[in-house]
Chain A
Amino acid sequence: MARTKDYYEFKPYNVARWTIWGAFALLLLVAPLVFTSSLGHTMLSQMGIAIIVCLSYNMILGQGGMLSFGHAVYSGMGSFLAIHTLNLVSKGGWAIPVSLIPIVGGLSGMLVAVLFGYVTTKKAATPFAMITLGIGELVWASSLMFPEFFGGEGGISSNRVAGPKPLGITFGPQIQLYYLIAFYTFVCTAAMFAFTRTPLGRMLNAVRDNPERVEFVGYDTQKVRYIAFILSAFFAGISGGLAALNFEIVTSEVVSAPRSGAYLLFTFLGGATFFFGPIIGGVLLVLAGVLLSELTKAWLLYLGLIFLFMVMYAPGGIASLIMMNLRVASFGRLKELWVSYLALAFTALVALLGAAAIIEMVYHLQLNAALGPKLQFLGASLDARGVDSWFGAAFVMLTGVALFEVARRHYVHQWDEIQEFIEKEMKRREAL
């Protein structure tokens, strides 16, 4: 499965590209009309924010090969400076329109990166990773030690309804803010995509692949990394600024190590090798954070398992899974697979159901045993002390696993056959 990562590139000015960007814009526009609850709106807003920050992270990870453990420093500092600015605005000090506050965040992130990036990007690979870890820990620790700037435990809060209000847009209602975020998301995504097609963007790839050779074609690798790092921090800062507007409070968690870790994990989960991977990652980041934990107390366990399996079976992230299937589709053979996919999905669901029931019962026993052995699981009522429930869950799980294995074998066989066909076909076309 891993061998099928192939070179993929949007051709300039083609129809597909316009369609994709158009669809993206449309999606941003209509999403809040579909998910209308107030939680839905905040989540959509947060997704926009997460998309920007994951994409900005991937500028250095996926495109520059720089593994950073401290990306939250830049988005977080963007947040802090943005909220301080917002406070100045509401005190009537400055007359910056609220819609430009994210730019302030971006510039602040950039400024911090100019400072820290100078030392971090002198190095690459592991030393780089470790310096970012160190700086991340330092900033995080400082954020609690300097309440004057970081606001201590309570953080800095503000009110986004402030400053000039053109056209009566106050950004008070979440929906107005959502559209501001959506606008930024679209523009930033486009800008970051554009970056990949510029000389610096390309040299950044070259630096990732073979820094030594880059030096021999005239480029200073440190400088390439440094500039890219600063640009990435700019976008991170924008996302931080948007987050400040969205939450109207900024606390030290925004610069924390777990936050940096989440960016790394989800960017990777989305797929670092493709430009659009982090977009998926950003969406998942919010979904996992907000919804998964509402569904189950065992969410951390599920998250851990998902990562484990994703890294093992789809190290290119979700984006790579999509691209592989698109490739199959472009050879007109995807339709043969959908039955298999249905079978896989269904059997996996069954297995998952059983496994989840077991996990939930274990959690119940450990955490809530006192509330009685009964628990509700997806509408069914389970008895955590009853042999029946355990037996039933195990039975469901095992059946699911067994069927899944059957389906999987069949699928793998089919998949291999199609890949073989594609390879032959490509050779044939090449020969033409």
Chain B
Amino acid sequence: MGRDPGIHRKRDEAEGSLVSDGTPIALELKDVRKSFGRTEIIRGCSLQVQQGERVAVIGPNGAGKSTLFNLISGRFAPTSGQVLLNGHRIEGKKPFEINRLGLSRSFQITNIFPKLSVFENLRCGVLWSLGYKYTFLRFLADLDDANERAEQLLEMIRLHKKRDVLAVNLTYAEQRALEVGITIAGGANVILLDEPTAGMSRAETRRFIDLIKEVTAGKTLLTVEHDMGVVFGLADKIAVVVYGEIIAYDTPENVRANQRVQEAYLGSVIATQQAGTST
């Protein structure tokens, strides 16, 4: 059950294109830039993601993928440019405001509530979206919908056996799963995952990708990945970020064929193999 982001909609801020080929645009970046001090890290990114699309963001280390996510999700404010979520400008808003508008993200470096149990972690993710806000006049135990949803999530991320274990005591892979669990808990319909499978073994990765597919069905998904197998298996479209710019944004096939992408990122493996040594 997703929730209606329209509840929080502020009319006066709504602007921009809603439709390109019939499907509404869930997320749009317009010439977004970000500098830290004097270095410009994001150098004019524009991007349109349609509702229900899965987009993989790839690019070399330090290209600015995580930074881009941070800009979208409100961790940082862009230096200039616009970010639109379902047609509403969200740049410069606080993370919680953006979350309430229906966007949720996970982190590259695990970011959970270490001293709460797995179940509590998930329930924390659920509460706001079910409208419980800051209430202190109702017992958690009586919030049947929240509890039910948290239990469901437990099953989904396959941690039901660890329901009452403190998150800090989970293994790394379990923590990663929990990280994603918290992210999807609020029922946001735009989801950003930053290297969700980092640190997992092949097999775990495979299982995990299936899980992600399952839990994000019908939602808009952006994910940063280095594992090309995963990327090509998961994504409808791929955005290639190099040095703060999106140099390509296309279907996997086209991206694979793209010359610049080859040079900047993918092809290197093949290239170096041909060239032999390259010190």
Contacts and interface: CB of A to CB of B under 8 A. Distances in A.
Report if A and B touch in the complex (beta carbons < 8 A).
Answer: yes
A305 B115 CA distance: 30
B117 A198 contact: no
B99 A197 contact: no
B249 to A, nearest CB: 25
B32 to A, nearest CB: 19
A64 to B, nearest CB: 12
A232 B3 CA distance: 33
Contacts of A195: 136
A7 B162 CA distance: 12
A157 interface: no
Contact of A209 (B115, B127, B134): B115
Interface in A222-254: 223-224, 227, 231
B182 interface: yes
Interface residues of A, number: 32
Nearest to A273: B115
Contacts of B123: 202
B138 A198 contact: yes
Interface in B102-139: 104-105, 107, 111-117, 120, 123-125, 127-129, 132-139
A203 B96 contact: no
Given A195-B136, A216-B105, A218-B99, A7 B94 contact: no
A218 B129 contact: yes
A168 interface: no
Per DSSP, are chain A's interface residues mostly helix, strand or loop, or mixed? helix
Given A199-B127, A218-B128, A430-B161, A206 B113 contact: yes
A370 interface: no
Nearest to B117: A7
A205 interface: yes
A227 B73 CA distance: 25
A216 B188 CA distance: 11
Contacts of A209: 113-116
A215 interface: yes
Nearest to B139: A197
B136 A199 contact: yes
Contacts of B138: 198-199
Q: With a 10 A CB-CB cut-off, give which of B96, B117, B183 has the most chain A CB atoms.
A: B96
Given A194-B139, A218-B129, A227-B136, A7 B166 contact: yes
B164 A7 contact: yes
Contacts of B124: 202-203, 206, 214, 217
B136 A198 contact: yes
Given A198-B135, A199-B134, A199-B138, A216 B96 contact: yes
Contact of A217 (B125, B134, B139, B161): B125
Contacts of A201: 136, 140
Contacts of A430: 161
Nearest to A11: B141
A421 interface: no
Contacts of B186: 217-218
A425 interface: no
B113 A199 contact: no
B139 A216 contact: no
B230 to A, nearest CB: 23
B113 A216 contact: no
Contact of A218 (B96, B120, B136, B140): B96
A425 to B, nearest CB: 16
A210 interface: yes
B140 A202 contact: yes
A12 interface: yes
Contacts of B114: 209-210
A356 to B, nearest CB: 39
Interface in A412-432: 430
A197 B140 contact: yes
B185 interface: yes
Contacts of B74: 215
Nearest to B183: A216
A200 interface: yes
A198 B139 contact: yes
A215 B164 contact: no
A409 interface: no
Interface string B133-174: 111111111010010000000000000010011100000000
Nearest to A201: B136
Contact of A199 (B73, B133, B185): B133
Contacts of B64: none
Given A212-B111, A218-B96, A218-B129, 5 more contacts: A7-B164, A205-B120, A209-B116, A216-B105, A227-B134
Interface of A: 7, 9, 12, 194-195, 197-203, 205-206, 208-210, 212-221, 223-224, 227, 231, 430
Pairs A-B, 7 closest by C-beta atoms: A218-B128, A215-B95, A200-B136, A209-B113, A199-B132, A218-B99, A198-B136
20 contacts: A198-B135, A198-B136, A198-B140, A199-B132, A199-B146, A201-B136, A201-B140, A202-B116, A210-B113, A210-B114, A213-B112, A213-B113, A214-B124, A216-B73, A217-B185, A217-B186, A218-B99, A218-B128, A219-B128, A221-B96
